Structure 1
């Protein structure tokens, strides 16, 4: 307590320490962290048009815009705690840091770089005009100390924080990103597991309707299936229903079973929110199968926040929502035991339904990892360190897409004008239609999915906060879209600069052995060279800001990930930066996946080298005769 308090007070002159110390101590005792609530600004937090920020350079103004979007109450999960999404994914660690960062950005010139240490602004340092205007790191700790227990200690001390992925890198665009990614996951799951992309009458059962997981309801309907999502907390259920993402809500599990059967038979798209514990739902579906021999679920997954299982990320079935909240505060050890028991029950029901014909996958939320730690039957016989009884969605679904170079590319229209967004939508769709004529069938299928998405984006009302859009594109598509948007800014068709970015959950940005790199089988899944190289390479190839994080998705100590923001202002310099940086940002990951033995990545990087004469990638020579290995080892 003493050290945490001293750390917080160093932001202020000694004349204020006596007054602030007792206030900060109370926050620390009550919340386990000093948020400095008194310094939360009274201004309405949102992404204002870029010309309204008091800055000396548009690059700094673009960063301010993105920060304020991440803290917009319409976007952020817990804005008062500076949490954007994922339960604990923060933009900053306290409100003094927010104020100091905004002050530095207002003074920044194009020969300075803002250096950020886990939410703390170390200051403005001299740099080149070609350098990033901000370098962000979150949660970087010595590897042997990258544990959940150490995180809680460091967070309480105010010396580190969990930036998730796009929370601490200022690049979150609301739930639109995960809606699109989930829609693509469900579509490609149907193709792989069910042999069809016509999902009418097919049922997906999952859980979670909070920040990221809330997208599941909307994505299921866009994909055309029946989505049944369990949620224990009434607040996100009500929020998703009011915004139209959940079509129906019920707390009656028997009504839930009836509606599943009706929608399945009529082949009517439906998003149904079950207000209750997902374990109860899985066990009731199993009971129905055992009684009637009718399997009501085709696809299954889970999106509870199991990167944070003992602090509100997962609620055990044995307790009500209120009882669980009380127990996790009063008896954490007993609560942990109940979480483990609940996970074992959940897995037992899933296993039996899977044996009956349901297809289940881990959605990269550490579900199988935590279930394994709980003692549940999720081991894969003869499997490696990253393999379980069920695949992660990267291993079976999205991994092949990453290996083709496709990933979540996004942009934000800094004017705040919906007309600019509509125009950039049309530009992006037109670009993809033009370049899709001479591609392989697998690439063509991904282009078609994304052209359909972007052409229909307006009617799905996905914009929350900034005027932003996301689509999945490969290397060529990203570069061509960025250059076309930059030209539209230069021509005056788009009225203000545009920030381009991506999710860290991408081809190159993340080393995560239980998610993004779970389909890397050469023994390097636990290596983090790719993500670190990506961060460094983006920095000197033209990014406006770059970030590198420990944690994100599957939890602290389980992943290294990074991202970028790049401001397109219509200049030739912006076009040069975008082309150079985006080509690297994708090729880096495809090359790594190629070297690990992925055939899709091998073909993709071969084609890219033919198109870019300066690109030279070390290509693997696969062992063609396995007996060579046997003879050598026996000898």
Structure 2
């Protein structure tokens, strides 16, 4: 067995006009580092091709800031095919090929030619040589081997066993003293670091649908908590404003319409607007601020939902709203601020084309404009909040970017960012206490047959597993899956997102595996967003409602990854960065192929509960009230097989008295 690229030089692929291209990421290597980067890329290439490809790779590095190996990209659109059209020695090997191609197809990927799935920089792997080798490995992978992927590089196949993971992935796991954006940028240029985001490098992205249920939950619960909307009503008559129509942010207008709101989403890139408009994820498009608010106001008066894409900068839109005294009920932002200086945030005052030009030719000026725009953005939000708008950070590192731009008054403690910021993260205020602390999170599945009828059958089966009378969250989730087909959520292959707690996920997974066993549907890939109860440690997002000081610790995400590997999930992934940037989060996820076997049933019974309850246990230990009650009920129900350590809670007046008295004596 030999896995290597052919010594036949592939034809250089053509690039289809109108397909988005990543901007120049910037070249900043020393001559010695440049030599290493070139050698690193050429080690994938048979020696007889080095003289031909070395100049090509060097040109890519100088003009794109990366070596993508464009020559090795397959021609055309990499749409996911039905699983039986892929080569493979095991079902998992074929299933992962479906998922990779789905991540890179034109309908889904943000920059498909640069292997970027979403989030401005989130890649499946670093270059097309890695892609080709990974595909080769997956075609020969057996159920007694594990493929190891390190920052996009396929390290090799290693013997394991059928109940071990078939693929283990890590991305950009940098050593602490080098775990920062500057050193990561050098490593990425040298071809040794891949920014996996979350489900891009974990091969589990399912298009904007992957976040739409979470956005729906966030908006609906924000309305209930902040606007006084009853449990049985929606956001009709209320206005939501945000920005971003990319891979994840593109879910905002669809989620707002499903929640009943009037929404205006600003986006500077016309191609992203066109993508979401043509896919039916946003209803109307305008470059006129007054018209955008007029359409929204008319819909609000009629108590009808509407989504409007405003082609322009969010700062300009908000400054107009503030000047015209337009009331905005709910306000957020979903620009890619984890990559704020890499093009993820377009400064006010310049066009998207000018942004791309500055990234290539004057990065210092671009960074200065970003900082100035963030300061303006902060000021207008502060004015709107003062008038009654509820603003929440959507976990995109927006407030951290403002802080880093020199706006220290956004810090909650007035000293640093450790205690968060003056406005809440959506997890801190809404998703954490209302969903994560109970164990509800973004469960998802893909029907690998590619048949829409399989997806419809799984929707009905999942709905049958939900008791809508148990909690308000269950009623919301029941209604969501009931209406999923009507809401036309699929982009790419046949996939679904559904928030569920630990038992809900297990029950649905076992039901699906039985359906596969009985021949009702083809094989299914289970997974979840890394943005989940247990999957991510991120003090500015997933763990922002952890107040015991452990919000800066990454033990939970690492333990979740290790536990899923030990229990035999088909694929396990662990990444640095995610939606908030390098050094600001550790996140992990899984993929589980359902083949109908009893072996899979046993893995599900062990792994699905662990994957969720490890995070609930950590949140309970942090004294989160809903996690405490959930953990106590779990201990009672599963007595003998599981037990979560529960904290004792001291009285507040005792703690305050001891601290005040002791510090007074010390001084």
TM class by shorter chain equals over 0.9
Does 2:35 correspond to 1:2? Answer: yes
Instruction: Assess if the C-alpha contact under 8 Å between 1:550 and 1:556 holds in 2.
Output: yes
**1:305 alignment counterpart:** 336
Does 2:173 correspond to 1:173? Answer: no
- Candidates 261, 265, 288, aligned match of 2:324: 288
Partner deviation per Cα, 1:561-609 (whole Å, 9 max, x = no partner)? 0000111111111111011100000110000000111011011111111
Instruction: Assess if the C-alpha contact under 8 Å between 2:102 and 2:493 holds in 1.
Output: yes
**2:540 alignment counterpart:** 514
Alignment of 1:192-231 (within 5 A): 192-196=225-229, 197-231=233-267
- Which deviates further from its counterpart, 478-487 or 380-389? 380-389
**1:380 alignment counterpart:** 412
**1:427 alignment counterpart:** 461
Partner deviation per Cα, 1:409-467 (whole Å, 9 max, x = no partner)? 0111111111111011000001003xx55x4xxxx111111111111111111111111
Alignment of 1:406-421 (within 5 A): 406-421=440-455
Secondary structure of 1:308's aligned partner: helix
Instruction: Assess if the C-alpha contact under 8 Å between 1:260 and 1:296 holds in 2.
Output: no
Q: Quote the RMSD (CA, aligned, Å).
A: 1.4
Instruction: Assess if the C-alpha contact under 8 Å between 2:215 and 2:251 holds in 1.
Output: yes
Name the CA distance, whole Å, in 1 between partners of 2:293 and 2:481.
Answer: 34
- Which deviates further from its counterpart, 373-382 or 391-400? 373-382
Instruction: Assess if the C-alpha contact under 8 Å between 1:89 and 1:164 holds in 2.
Output: yes
**2:6 alignment counterpart:** none
**2:23 alignment counterpart:** none
Partner deviation per Cα, 1:209-235 (whole Å, 9 max, x = no partner)? 111111111111111011011111111
How many residues align structurally?
622
**1:93 alignment counterpart:** 126
- Candidates 320, 324, 339, aligned match of 2:355: 324
Instruction: Assess if the C-alpha contact under 8 Å between 1:115 and 1:136 holds in 2.
Output: yes
- Which deviates further from its counterpart, 264-273 or 464-473? 264-273
**1:248 alignment counterpart:** 284
Does 2:602 correspond to 1:566? Answer: no
Shift of 1:633: 4.8
Instruction: Assess if the C-alpha contact under 8 Å between 1:511 and 1:559 holds in 2.
Output: yes
Instruction: Assess if the C-alpha contact under 8 Å between 1:166 and 1:563 holds in 2.
Output: yes
Instruction: Assess if the C-alpha contact under 8 Å between 1:261 and 1:296 holds in 2.
Output: no
Instruction: Assess if the C-alpha contact under 8 Å between 1:386 and 1:514 holds in 2.
Output: no
* TM-score (normalizing by structure 2): 0.91
Secondary structure of 1:285's aligned partner: helix
Secondary structure of 2:596's aligned partner: coil
- Which deviates further from its counterpart, 548-557 or 320-329? 320-329
Instruction: Assess if the C-alpha contact under 8 Å between 2:163 and 2:599 holds in 1.
Output: no
Shift of 1:119: 0.2
Shift of 1:143: 1.1
Shift of 1:542: 1.9
- Candidates 556, 581, 594, aligned match of 2:582: 556
Instruction: Assess if the C-alpha contact under 8 Å between 1:542 and 1:580 holds in 2.
Output: no
Name the CA distance, whole Å, in 2 between partners of 1:340 and 1:428.
Answer: 46
Shift of 1:382: 6.2
- Candidates 161, 174, 178, aligned match of 2:194: 161
* TM-score (normalizing by structure 1): 0.96
Partner deviation per Cα, 1:501-549 (whole Å, 9 max, x = no partner)? 0000000000000000011011111100000000000001120010000
Does 2:483 correspond to 1:449? Answer: no
Shift of 1:296: 2.2
Instruction: Assess if the C-alpha contact under 8 Å between 1:363 and 1:392 holds in 2.
Output: yes
Relative to structure 1, is the Cα distance of residues 344 and 43 closer, same or farther in structure 2, using a 3 angstrom cutoff? closer
Partner deviation per Cα, 1:304-358 (whole Å, 9 max, x = no partner)? 1111111211111122222222223222112211111111111111111111111
Instruction: Assess if the C-alpha contact under 8 Å between 2:619 and 2:627 holds in 1.
Output: yes
| Structure 2 portions without partners, runs of 5+ | 1-33
Partner deviation per Cα, 1:116-154 (whole Å, 9 max, x = no partner)? 110000000111221101110000110111111111111
Shift of 1:243: 2.0
- Which deviates further from its counterpart, 466-475 or 36-45? 36-45
- Candidates 75, 81, 84, aligned match of 1:42: 75
Shift of 1:44: 4.3
Does 2:576 correspond to 1:544? Answer: no
Partner deviation per Cα, 1:266-318 (whole Å, 9 max, x = no partner)? 222110111111111111111111xxxxx421110001111111121111112
Does 2:628 correspond to 1:618? Answer: no
Shift of 1:381: 5.0
Partner deviation per Cα, 1:355-392 (whole Å, 9 max, x = no partner)? 11110000000111111111334233568723211000
Alignment of 1:33-72 (within 5 A): 33-42=66-75, 44-72=77-105
Secondary structure of 1:122's aligned partner: strand
- Candidates 226, 229, 233, aligned match of 2:269: 233
